[in-house]
Structure 1
């Protein structure tokens, strides 16, 4: 047996033969979406009136996922100038998440659609949570300190009267908690 015949026989037996090139172009029919980054924000971490983190930097197309700890929290979109009030009729609102212990069985997700700042707050207890500093921002403009999260929290502390909430869950998705054992 010639050495070239032995080589062909061994490579064929070992499955090492590659197909000969063809002039056909490969056209896959399967498509896949690029994975998105999900940013987790915890409402009420450690029993405190906070969002953790309260300042999120997220790319367009990212998901911000709110997890809820005891006792009862929500997340509502606001504007910088009017903290503790819905931004407008289309503002996102998670609904209230009453949690006795542990964390909620559901989370609330929103998609970041542009690079403008997205201000948010907890509407629980007629603004007591918001006024106590339970506010946050996605994509704060760090070049404009007059519109910082610190300044927003100062405005929220001055709000009097009940907070506004939307009529129902809107502007995002309330889904089963994808990480129920996360220990938040």
Structure 2
């Protein structure tokens, strides 16, 4: 898969992405990605090559510099339903790049991959991702209270996190003009 937007390319990982990937996954900012923490270029290379069963990961790189600034991942749950998520480098925040990448991904899934429904899980303290979902026209379908644990509290007990579900249907995506999403 290859998706081009105005400033980005979403593509398969390449060996040269190791340094950029390590930069933002050496210290994941949200607990749900604690298991994705990388501590070496070797670990980053392994991460690029292997993913969970049925999950596809793609690099998000700046078009001009071809430098990886994040990645998106997609899990096809059945023939027309996809679970999506993303990681982005903090150094590139505030420029609309995550929004541009996710718009490109959702548009691709709806128009090319036959998606009818796309959803994502967002932990309650991940304010930026919740805002992004809402700006893309995704609706909050619910909140699972103390749904999962990724880390422990200081006393060693599991820290359970509330997790929100955001989704959008193809008919909703089609009714939103690309201009209204990008200006949002």
Do the structures match in fold with TM over 0.5?
Answer: no
Larger Rg: 1
Q: TM-score range by the shorter chain?
A: under 0.3
Q: Which of the pair has the greater relative contact order for Cα pairs under 8 Å at 6+ separation?
A: 1
- Please give the TM-score of this superposition, normalised by the length of structure 2: 0.27
In terms of fraction of residues, the more helix-rich structure is 2
